[in-house]
Amino acid sequence: MKDVLSEERLIGAITRLILDPQKRRARHVAIGAASPIPAAASYLAREIAGDVRVSVLNQRRGNPFTNGTGELFDLTAEGRIDLFFLGGGEIDGAGNINLIGTGEWPGSAVRFPGSFGSAFMYMMVPRVILYRFEHSLRVLVPKVAYVSAPGTSPAGVFRRGHAEALVTGKAVFSFSPERARFTLVSVHPGESAESVRAATGFDYDVAEPLAETADPSSEWLSLLRGPVAAAMAPTYPTFAQLVWPAAELARSA
């Protein structure tokens, strides 16, 4: 049962954030395009907590959005989505994200795909978790070249929430909107305070004591390799096959 995969550790770390008892309960989690790790973490949270609705934008069978692709944003505008995931081509120490590019506008040096729903979702969802696997100086920058969506907003601007954490392939940070600053909370096995500092372009605080990102328990692992793998397979076939080939074989046998 052990031999935890790095993907499973990331999924477990995100699931712990989703289920954080200090935070408003996540009754409804939405998943945007191309986000298999956050999707798996949300399905795992559903297996554990029971009453978590997970709405995946690109779900292939039984997609919950029956009023068009704009329905996610209408649900969000009304406050019917509690938690959402965002990433960024660049993410800076104040929680700003850039999905536009660098160089001259709109991206003469590097062009990212575009802002998707971020300029709206970041401000309108009560809980946001930032997820970006690549943890490098080009992604985690002192200041983003362009702001697709701001990490914080001045008083008087309608905003329901902020990032509460940033999860990468190396570490987990928490975010304080009051101070517009990240704190390194845990490093994944194989990483250290120094290796994370060397790969991070922005300044941040370090929790005392600094933890190692915990592995998912055996109970969580069996949920991941069973019902979560099965829930993932129709919408994320490539990812499910890559991470849980045994589970795939078991189901098709």
Partner 1 sequence: MRILELDRLAREIPAGAMVAIPPDNSATCAAFARALIRQGARGLRLVGVPVSGYATDLLIGAGCVEEVQSSAVSLDEAGSAPCFTRAIKAGRIRMLDATCPAMHAMLEAAGKGIPFIPIRGILGSDLLTHRPDWRVIDNPFEKGDPIVILPALAPDFAVFHAAAADREGNVWVGRHRELAAMAHAAQRTFATVERIVEGNLTEDERMAPGVISGVYIEAVAVAERGAWPGGLLDEYPDDAEHFLEYARLARSEEGFHAYLARHVMAPAAAAAE
Residues that bind partner 1 (CB under 8 A): 33-34, 58, 60, 63, 65-71, 73, 76-77, 99-101, 105-109, 111-124, 146-150, 153-154, 156-158, 238
Rounded to whole angstroms, what are the CA distances from 71 to 32, 42, 236?
12, 20, 22
Cβ-based nearer residue to partner 1, 143 or 197:
143
Cβ-based nearer residue to partner 1, 163 or 171:
163
> CB of 28: closest distance to partner 1 in angstroms?
17
What is the spatial distance between Cα 53 and Cα 236, in angstroms, rounded to a whole number?
A: 18
> CB of 70: closest distance to partner 1 in angstroms?
4
> CB of 32: closest distance to partner 1 in angstroms?
9
The sign one gets for the Cα dihedral 64, 66, 69, 71 is negative
Q: The tokens of 142 are what?
A: 């002192």
Cβ-based nearer residue to partner 1, 131 or 220:
131
Strands (E), the chain: 28-31, 53-56, 83-86, 90-92, 97-98, 101-102, 110-111, 127-131, 140-141, 162-167, 171-176, 181-187, 205-212
> CB of 138: closest distance to partner 1 in angstroms?
15
Cβ-based nearer residue to partner 1, 18 or 100:
100
Cβ-based nearer residue to partner 1, 211 or 242:
242
> CB of 63: closest distance to partner 1 in angstroms?
7
What is the spatial distance between Cα 88 and Cα 148, in angstroms, rounded to a whole number?
A: 9
User: What three-state secondary structure class fits 235?
Assistant: coil
Please list the residues that pair with 167 across neighbouring strands: 131, 172
What is the spatial distance between Cα 134 and Cα 46, in angstroms, rounded to a whole number?
A: 26
> CB of 228: closest distance to partner 1 in angstroms?
20
User: What three-state secondary structure class fits 101?
Assistant: strand
Residues with Cβ within 8 Å of 237's Cβ and at least 6 positions away in sequence, in order, are none
Cβ-based nearer residue to partner 1, 15 or 115:
115
